[in-house]
């Protein structure tokens, strides 16, 4: 009698694996389902093999039962190769490649379908096997079973090889070990036909898969039980690589930080668990169609297949309604602010990098509206391209000397003419067009490029101020912005003074703008820089007054000549309380002998309002945007002519 002890061992291994899967709740998702199917196929195959072995040896008279158990064994045993391929397809998330490709699907199903039909009909034809008089023998087409297995293993090898980029080295090793184990068992079985090793080998290979390929602890977040950040990164990246179309619900809890600061660690975890449970139960109601992830800091993701657009939309709306509801937890009333963005990839978000960058902080950069947002409403691919490449863009601009300085005229209310201008950085990139100076400056401050850029702007201004063109304009000075990072640099004052000396520019012709944030820093380096420049005769403006953190004591103690009221003040002037605040601020600054520039004046009505408030200078689109040097020279000359004509 053949020895089926290995089959019994296989059944034990499979039951342990089954228990661990159910215990870890790793039963949702296609890969898990395929893995589970592999376990069951092997289990049934082993049981059929034991039954057929016992019947063959002891119950020759039960011919039907012998036919039945052998047919069962052969069909399930061969099916294991098919499941191996399906498992790999799920692991690589390639199911969409079969959608709509009927010929390919038929080609994949055909070898097994043929083998299956031949095996099942063998009781009548005897082609694959026969059990006449209860004696089991191979039929003339028995080798078709081996052929079928080889076809599926080769197909699996091909799929793995073609998509090897999507798999880590350890996973490829795991898949390879699985194949080697099964192959070794087949070879051993040829030499020792009495030893029924094959199901044992398959169960061992599934065990290998469970520790190398399937490792749930590597993928699951322990607190929420959802997939982890790394799993999301991996899946999303692969989807972009293989060109899959999919939908993602990005859920960021906008008030997560404030809720966390209110709760202790354990309660915070509890709240996350409650949120995850709510999402899970919605997913359950919709047939577990979405793959759920918890990233970190209150950020969840639910991913759907392309064909499930309506489902994704429904899910997003339901999640939004469910999570918005106030709930009570351990004496705290908790109201989450779930900010949900629904995106179709790659149509609406074109790359992995953009998806991750956008998902990081869209809830901080956009107002909370309480409704589901469609990605195109707040995601603009160009901005992201620029943001992702900003350092390269800056490097290229420095190399090609393509930074430019534009000038925005500043008007004196008292003198009725333009008396100065603000120098503003401009960059027109060949690839991306106009790049916002705010973006440029913030990135340059981080990368350190701000020092080179600052020097370049200052040199350009000094060159202009020393030119004969400028001298004809009769302007008092040019305002140049200094960023916080520049002010903190030990060499700043010397560099500025050297450039001025080189171009023979008088300190009276330059006014340096510092921001309130810079003014609130009390670092010694900065104070030294400012004092050195002040002693050299340079004057300062305080830029963006009213927007930052107002350290009034610092503002009062700095020797400032000018304060620039930020545009945000101007924008809110219709608010009666703001108007009272503005009137008093202007009065206070005037009492301190400071001059006032109002920024962002766009209409005649605004101009009159601030002129009546006795602000000294006006800057804004009402007069002109920042324009190139040549345009600026012409603009000022034209305006002077108009003044003369009006006087005549």
Q: What residues make contact with Mg ion under the rule CB under 5 A? A: 481, 513, 543-544, 599
* Residue 620 found at the interface with ligand C2E (CB under 6 A): yes
Q: For residues 352, 353, 354 and 357, what is the CA-based torsion angle, rounded to 10 degrees?
A: 120
| Paired residues of 405 in beta bridges | 425
CA 576 – CA 583 distance, rounded (Å): 11
Is residue 479 within a helix (H) or strand (E), and if so which, with residue range?
strand 477-481
State the binding partner of 182 from ligand C2E, Mg ion, none, CB within 5 to 8 A by kind. Answer: none
Pick 235 or 513: Cβ nearer ligand C2E: 513
Stretch 214-233: interaction string toward ligand C2E, x if CB under 6 A: --------------------
Pick 71 or 619: Cβ nearer ligand C2E: 619
Q: What is the residue whose two structure tokens read 């199903």?
A: 109
Pick 198 or 513: Cβ nearer ligand C2E: 513
State the binding partner of 19 from ligand C2E, Mg ion, none, CB within 5 to 8 A by kind. Answer: none
Q: Which of the residues 440 through 469 are near ligand C2E (CB under 6 A)?
A: 441, 454, 457
Pick 267 or 412: Cβ nearer ligand C2E: 412
Tell the smallest beta-carbon distance from residue 565 to Mg ion (Å): 9
Give the closest residue to 149 by CA, choosing from 201, 98, 186, 177. Answer: 186
CB contact at 8 A, 595 and 586: no
Pick 214 or 541: Cβ nearer Mg ion: 541
Concatenated DSSP letters of 417-465 = EEEEEEEEEEEEETTTEEE-HHHHHHHHHHHSTHHHHHHHHHHHHHHHH
Give the closest residue to 461 by CA, choosing from 419, 422, 417, 418. Answer: 422
CA atoms within 13 A on the CB side of 47: 11
The correct pick among 320, 481, 509, 585 for binding ligand C2E (CB under 6 A) is 481
Piece of 20-28, 114-122, 575-583, 616-624 that binds ligand C2E (CB under 6 A) = 616-624
* Residue 626 found at the interface with ligand C2E (CB under 6 A): yes
State the binding partner of 441 from Mg ion, ligand C2E, none, CB within 5 to 8 A by kind. Answer: ligand C2E
Tell the smallest beta-carbon distance from residue 475 to ligand C2E (Å): 18
CA 529 – CA 488 distance, rounded (Å): 8
Strand 403-412 to strand 373-374: parallel, antiparallel, or no bridges (unpaired)? unpaired
Residue 88 corresponds to which tokens in the numbers above? 């790999």
Piece of 41-49, 138-146, 476-484, 525-533 that binds ligand C2E (CB under 6 A) = 476-484
Strand 129-130 to strand 137-138: parallel, antiparallel, or no bridges (unpaired)? antiparallel
The correct pick among 71, 205, 483, 511 for binding ligand C2E (CB under 6 A) is 483
DSSP structure class, residue 3: B
Tell the smallest beta-carbon distance from residue 409 to ligand C2E (Å): 10
* Residue 386 found at the interface with ligand C2E (CB under 6 A): no
* Residue 425 found at the interface with ligand C2E (CB under 6 A): yes
Pick 115 or 481: Cβ nearer Mg ion: 481
Stretch 18-37: interaction string toward ligand C2E, x if CB under 6 A: --------------------
Tell the smallest beta-carbon distance from residue 317 to ligand C2E (Å): 36
Pick 305 or 543: Cβ nearer Mg ion: 543
Residue 89 corresponds to which tokens in the numbers above? 């397809």
Tell the smallest beta-carbon distance from residue 574 to ligand C2E (Å): 16
Bin 208: left if φ > 0, else alpha if -120 < ψ < 50, else beta: alpha
Three-class SS of residue 549? coil
CA 319 – CA 313 distance, rounded (Å): 10
CA 409 – CA 607 distance, rounded (Å): 14
Pick 74 or 570: Cβ nearer Mg ion: 570
The correct pick among 134, 233, 376, 437 for binding ligand C2E (CB under 6 A) is 437
| Paired residues of 539 in beta bridges | 511
CA 459 vs. chain centroid, Å, equals 39
| Sequence-ordered strand ranges (E) for 19-136 | 129-130
CB contact at 8 A, 319 and 279: yes
Pick 35 or 458: Cβ nearer Mg ion: 458
* Residue 438 found at the interface with ligand C2E (CB under 6 A): yes
| Paired residues of 344 in beta bridges | 247
CB contact at 8 A, 241 and 267: no
Pick 281 or 447: Cβ nearer ligand C2E: 447
CB contact at 8 A, 234 and 213: no
* Residue 509 found at the interface with ligand C2E (CB under 6 A): no
Pick 327 or 503: Cβ nearer ligand C2E: 503
The number of helices, as runs of H, and strands, as runs of E, in the chain is: 28, 18
State the binding partner of 600 from ligand C2E, Mg ion, none, CB within 5 to 8 A by kind. Answer: ligand C2E
Pick 235 or 513: Cβ nearer Mg ion: 513
Burial of 577 (0-12, 13-18, 19+ CB in 10 A): exposed
Pick 338 or 620: Cβ nearer ligand C2E: 620
CA 210 – CA 407 distance, rounded (Å): 66
CA atoms within 13 A on the CB side of 98: 14
Tell the smallest beta-carbon distance from residue 533 to ligand C2E (Å): 15
State the binding partner of 438 from Mg ion, ligand C2E, none, CB within 5 to 8 A by kind. Answer: ligand C2E
Per rule CB under 6 A, count of chain residues that contact ligand C2E: 23
Rg (CA), the chain: 37
| Paired residues of 302 in beta bridges | 249, 292
Q: Which of the residues 511 through 540 are near ligand C2E (CB under 6 A)?
A: 513
* Residue 621 found at the interface with ligand C2E (CB under 6 A): yes
Residue nearest ligand C2E (C-beta atom): 620
Pick 349 or 598: Cβ nearer ligand C2E: 598
State the binding partner of 322 from Mg ion, ligand C2E, none, CB within 5 to 8 A by kind. Answer: none
State the binding partner of 424 from ligand C2E, Mg ion, none, CB within 5 to 8 A by kind. Answer: ligand C2E
State the binding partner of 620 from Mg ion, ligand C2E, none, CB within 5 to 8 A by kind. Answer: ligand C2E
Stretch 583-602: interaction string toward ligand C2E, x if CB under 6 A: ----------------xxxx
Backbone angles phi, psi at 303, to 5 degrees: -110, 135
Tell the smallest beta-carbon distance from residue 611 to ligand C2E (Å): 15
CB contact at 8 A, 375 and 345: no
Q: Which residues bind ligand C2E (CB under 6 A)?
A: 408, 424-425, 437-438, 441, 454, 457, 481-483, 513, 543-544, 567, 599-602, 619-621, 626
């Amino acid at each position: 009698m053949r020895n089926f002890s290995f089959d019994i061992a296989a059944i034990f291994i499979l039951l342990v694996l089954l228990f661990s899967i159910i215990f870890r709740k790793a039963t949702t998702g296609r890969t898990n389902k395929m893995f589970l199917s592999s376990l069951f196929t092997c289990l049934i195959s082993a049981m059929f093999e034991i039954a057929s072995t016992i019947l063959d040896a002891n119950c020759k008279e039960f011919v039907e039962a012998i036919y039945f158990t052998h047919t069962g064994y052969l069909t399930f045993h061969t099916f294991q190769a098919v499941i191996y391929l399906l498992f790999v397809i799920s692991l690589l998330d390639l199911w969409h490649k079969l959608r709509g490709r009927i010929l390919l699907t038929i080609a994949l199903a055909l070898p097994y379908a043929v083998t299956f039909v031949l095996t099942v009909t063998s009781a009548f034809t005897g082609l694959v096997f026969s059990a006449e008089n209860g004696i089991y023998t191979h039929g003339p087409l028995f080798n078709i079973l081996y052929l079928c297995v080889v076809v599926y293993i080769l197909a699996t090898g091909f799929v793995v090889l073609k998509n090897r980029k999507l798999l880590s080295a350890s996973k490829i090793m795991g898949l390879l070990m699985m194949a080697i184990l099964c192959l070794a068992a087949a070879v051993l079985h040829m030499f020792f036909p009495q030893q029924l090793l094959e199901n044992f080998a398959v169960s061992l290979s599934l065990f290998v898969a469970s520790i190398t390929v399937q490792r749930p602890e590597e993928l699951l977040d322990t607190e929420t039980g959802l997939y982890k950040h790394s799993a999301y990164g991996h899946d999303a990246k692969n989807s972009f690589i293989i060109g899959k179309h999919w939908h993602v619900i990005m859920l960021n809890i906008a008030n997560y930080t404030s809720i966390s600061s209110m709760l202790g660690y354990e309660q915070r975890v509890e709240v996350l668990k409650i949120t995850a449970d709510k999402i899970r139960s919605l997913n359950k109601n919709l047939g577990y169609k979405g793959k759920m992830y918890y990233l970190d800091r209150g950020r969840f993701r639910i991913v759907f297949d392309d064909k499930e657009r309506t489902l994704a939309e429904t899910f997003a709306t339901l999640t939004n309604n469910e999570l918005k509801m106030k709930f009570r937890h351990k004496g705290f009333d908790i109201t989450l602010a779930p900010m949900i963005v629904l995106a179709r990839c790659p149509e609406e978000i074109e790359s992995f990098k953009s998806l991750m960058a956008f998902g990081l902080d869209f809830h901080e950069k956009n107002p909370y509206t309480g409704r589901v947002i469609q990605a195109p409403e707040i995601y603009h691919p160009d901005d992201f391209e620029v943001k992702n490449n900003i350092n390269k863009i800056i490097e290229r601009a420095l190399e090609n000397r393509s930074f430019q300085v534009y000038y925005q005229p500043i008007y004196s209310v008292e003198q009725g003419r333009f008396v100065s201008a603000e120098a503003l950085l401009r960059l027109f990139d060949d690839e991306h067009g106009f790049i916002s100076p705010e973006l440029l400056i913030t990135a340059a401050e981080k990368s350190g490029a701000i020092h080179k850029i600052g020097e370049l702007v200052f040199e350009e201004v000094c060159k202009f101020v020393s030119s004969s063109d400028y001298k004809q304009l009769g302007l008092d000075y040019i305002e140049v912005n200094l960023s916080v990072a520049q002010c903190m640099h030990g060499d700043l004052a010397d560099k500025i003074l050297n450039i001025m000396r080189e171009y023979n520019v008088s300190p009276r012709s330059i006014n340096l703008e510092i921001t309130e944030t810079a003014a609130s820093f009390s670092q010694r380096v900065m104070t030294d820089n400012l004092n050195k420049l002040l002693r050299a005769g340079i004057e300062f403006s305080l830029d963006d007054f009213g927007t930052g953190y107002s350290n009034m004591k610092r503002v009062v103690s700095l020797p400032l000549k000018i304060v620039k009221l930020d545009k945000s003040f101007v924008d809110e002037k219709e608010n009666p309380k703001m108007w009272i605040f503005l009137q008093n601020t202007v009065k206070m600054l005037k009492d301190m002998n400071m001059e006032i520039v109002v920024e962002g004046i766009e209409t005649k009505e605004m101009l009159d309002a601030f002129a009546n408030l006795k602000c000294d200078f006006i800057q804004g689109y009402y007069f002109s945007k920042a324009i190139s040097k040549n345009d600026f020279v012409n603009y000022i000359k034209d305006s002077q002519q108009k003044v003369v004509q009006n006087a005549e």
